[in-house]
A and B are shown apart, each in its own frame.
Chain A
Amino acid sequence: MDIFIILICCLAALAGVAIASVFSLIPGLHIYNVIAFTMMIAFAALDLFKTMDPLITTCFIMGLVVGFSVLFTVSSQFFQPCDDSYRSMMLPHERFLFEGRGYEAAMLSGIGSMFALLMISGLFPFVTGAIGTLRQLIRPHIYWILGLVSLFILMSEWPKDHGVGKTTGQRLADAWVQLGMGLFVFVVSGILGLFVFCNTIIPVDNAFQSLMPVFIGLFAIPSQLMTVIAHARIPKQYFAGSVDAAPQDLARGALTGTVGGMFSSLTPGLTPGPALLMSAHATASSGEKQFIIGGGTARVLYYIGALVLFFMPDVYMRRGGAAINISLFFVPETAEQYFLISGIIAVAGAASLLLLGRYCKFCANVTQKIDFRWISLGGMILLIAMVWYVTSWRGVVLMGVATALGMVPNFWHTRRIPLLAVLLVPVCLNMAGVGAKVASWFGFR
């Protein structure tokens, strides 16, 4: 391969990291939305786009994904403090922020990301055969695997009441209000997912973005709304010179993240949230540091690991929005290309990790100068404008419905994970061959 092309690819990837770092400042904005914009721009300037080697654009997108997967949680962590009156419990990184340890949490997550990047760049090239075999094995069974994930989401939500009601009825009600709302969210999200999969109301030109308003409505807008109305104060953050984590926290956190990340990257329709939930239980993850490290590992393995499967000999699996967009103009053919991509990931990953410390300090300092509510309000307006631009008013209506549903977990203290039924249910049912039949029961077909 021409050294010049390799250098250009590296520069393109670094440019991708730089752009991702800017967009990652907007809490709730997803990199697939940015990639979709990139593709719209690329197709708008088709003459220029056609003259470029597709590998360069591929590496640019790879840089975007790598930069985003390492950095995107930083802004939501610093700019979206949770109001504890809307939560049954705070996640460790949320609590760290209120203890002035947001930087520590971000660096622990960065260590988890580093584990994943080392695995993807350093280990994956030697185990492509094993990954290919695993992929071949589970491929026909995805429908019941997704069914199992859904079932586990429902059955693993334990009551968070304190059992202090005076009568059996009171105690049952205390427990089942929360459990019942989790079930409600799961069922309604599943129905919404079936509707979107069967009857998109998005204009045909951008129908490939029909999930965008749904996901923004279910997850991004409710988070921003809750931040805007939050009663919270972010204390001055402390920037530690070193990380306090025991070797076993690093090892067990990385193990949890690896299991969750690999599971989600190899299973279509599965996102890292439920996969990490299951892997944290399966590996008996313990303590807040293992939780944060595991999250960093799983996220990177999901976003980058899943994308790299597209280039991997023995696998060539198109998984996730980035791979789908790349497949529009590039078809991987050789092991050489895969090795180049692995190297590009290492370069982009190193750049992202080097950026992480300063990035956190920047975000932490911003919280002391700008009210976080304004940042979320701005982010929310931007997202709504983006949904309007890409999917017209119909997308905004869809987003509104999804937002109403996305608010439910906040008010009823259930987990947000049942919202993912929007993806799990239709994909599972369609793979089982009964999606159309079930959709017809609801009048969607």
Chain B
Amino acid sequence: MKGITHFLTGVATASCFPLAIQTAFADKSFLMLYGGFCGILPDTLDFKFARYFWKFDHIVNLTEDNLDAKLAAETVAKAIDEAAETGKPVRVKLNVMRVSTNYYRTVTVQIDGERKEVTTYVGPLKTMSHVMARGETLPSDAARYRSIAEKGPIPVLRDIAQKSASLPGTIPEPEIAHVAKFKADVNNTYYADTEIGIFSGPDWQFAKQEDGRVRIDFIPWHRHWSHSITLGLLLGPLGLLLFGLSGLLSGLGFLNPFAIAALFIGPLAFWSHVFVDQLGHLGSNLYPPWTHWRSLGFKWSTSSSAFGNQMVNYISATIILWNINAYGPKAVFTMPWAARIAGDFGDPLYYLVSLLNYATVVVAIPLLAAYLIALVHRKLYFAKRMINFGEEDEGVEDFGGGGGDL
């Protein structure tokens, strides 16, 4: 999921602590910020620190003067076999090619475990927007593999390169593509293809599993110890320390109520990130140092999925608003179902009936409506926008898009 989605789930988690809301009316503590901080922290650790410490065995630098599709494909294929033969993890990085402030040269890299082929296709120049929107028009993996079986990999990548948004007329002529073979059996934990595009990378780790297959991990430095239940435990003492010291300065003492609340908010907000990430493809390494592999995600959504992000953010926003109302000194709104029940949000029955009313009318019904709209939209329009290879049905059930899962 996107950074803001994790940020908001962290804030929503903090808002479930009455003190985090009630402080707005008295002491004005910043407990909600600690929730947001812990919510987005795992990605901060990875993208601003961890990835720079990662060492690669093979780095490929293509340039506009040397668009060597063979070099890239052969390097990836050989790395897969090297991992199978040596039993040691092999890491490969293909550096991006920025040709100006606006444009990047793109190269598609497709790893096909069935055919044991790595195919590279030098594509058009793209802007950052083009690269980021690519996933929204990709065909489903099933359609891709059917088409590969029919036409071979290069025509499929040619179709994708020609039909996805880009700077017109910038695909090299004659076309530059290469198919490299590898021998090992593989377990690809990511999508069929990725693109040398913006920012840095892409990169992979190829490592032999116990069953002898080579496991392919995309951006292997991501979602390891930084996205673990284990690390989350440390965020409790950190919160206790921060709010404890703040309490000492303000005369509340070290073990003040805010510090105690932060002891719980930190891990829970951090874990909310870990949990939400399990909805995607990559999963995460949950219990290092006892576990070493990234778990596989549920594959319900991806980080770039508009529907997935919007829905999680909507739920987070409704949780925050509910808690603001329920935990405030005086409720701003009351729910109709609880109108005939005596009491207020402090009474369990009143609270539960109100919550049920809210969850139904403000959360469930709008989400259902949004889901139906998305379903109709995808049937009527979005499927047409996707690159297709002539099949009638491209699988309308996939709301994730193929945009990648960071």
Contact = CB atoms under 8 A, between A and B. Distances in A.
Interface of A: 84-85, 87-90, 92, 95, 133, 136-138, 140-141, 143-144, 147-148, 151-152, 155-156, 158-164, 168, 171-172, 175-176, 179, 246-248, 252, 278, 281-284, 286-288, 291, 431-434
Nearest to A163: B200
Contacts of B2: 281-282, 284
Given A163-B52, A281-B4, A286 B200 contact: no
B47 A172 contact: no
Given A148-B33, A282-B2, A287-B165, 20 more contacts: A89-B101, A133-B333, A138-B324, A144-B24, A152-B4, A158-B199, A164-B95, A168-B53, A179-B48, A248-B377, A248-B385, A252-B306, A281-B4, A282-B313, A284-B305, A286-B132, A287-B132, A288-B127, A432-B28, A432-B30
B200 A148 contact: no
A151 B31 CA distance: 13
B62 interface: no
A310 B30 CA distance: 29
Interface stretch (B36-44, B183-191, B274-282, B345-353): B36-44
Contacts of B304: 284, 286
A386 to B, nearest CB: 33
Contacts of A433: 28
A284 B306 contact: yes
A47 B313 CA distance: 54
Contacts, number: 140
Contact of A143 (B28, B61, B133): B28
Give the one of B40, B101, B306 with max A CB within 10 A: B101
15 contacts: A89-B102, A133-B332, A137-B332, A147-B30, A148-B32, A163-B95, A163-B200, A171-B52, A172-B49, A282-B8, A283-B309, A284-B2, A284-B309, A287-B129, A433-B28
Interface of B: 2-5, 7-8, 11, 21, 24-25, 28, 30, 32-33, 36-37, 40, 44, 47-49, 51-53, 61, 93, 95-96, 98, 100-102, 127-129, 132-133, 136, 165, 199-201, 304-306, 308-310, 313, 321, 324-325, 328, 332-333, 377, 381-382, 385
Contacts of A92: 127, 129
B4 A156 contact: yes
Interface core residue of B21, B48, B98, B321 (most chain A CB under 10 Å): B48
Which 10 interchain pairs have the tightest Cβ spacing? A163-B200, A84-B101, A281-B4, A284-B306, A284-B309, A171-B52, A288-B129, A432-B28, A287-B133, A144-B32
Nearest to A137: B332
A248 B382 contact: yes
A144 B33 contact: yes
A246 B133 CA distance: 14
A86 B129 CA distance: 20
Contacts of B328: 140
Given A92-B129, A162-B98, A137 B321 contact: yes
Nearest to A431: B28
Nearest to A285: B306
Contacts of B309: 282-284
Nearest to B165: A287
Nearest to B329: A140
Contacts of B102: 84, 89-90, 95
A282 B332 CA distance: 26
Contacts of A168: 52-53
Most buried by A among B7, B37, B49: B7
Nearest to B96: A162
A152 B324 CA distance: 20
Contacts of A138: 324
Nearest to A156: B3
A291 B200 contact: no
A431 B30 CA distance: 12
A286 B333 contact: no
A162 B132 CA distance: 16
Contacts of A161: 200
Contacts of A286: 129, 132-133, 136, 304, 306
A278 B7 CA distance: 10
B258 to A, nearest CB: 13
A172 B325 CA distance: 44
B392 to A, nearest CB: 22
Given A92-B129, A151-B37, A286-B306, A162 B4 contact: no
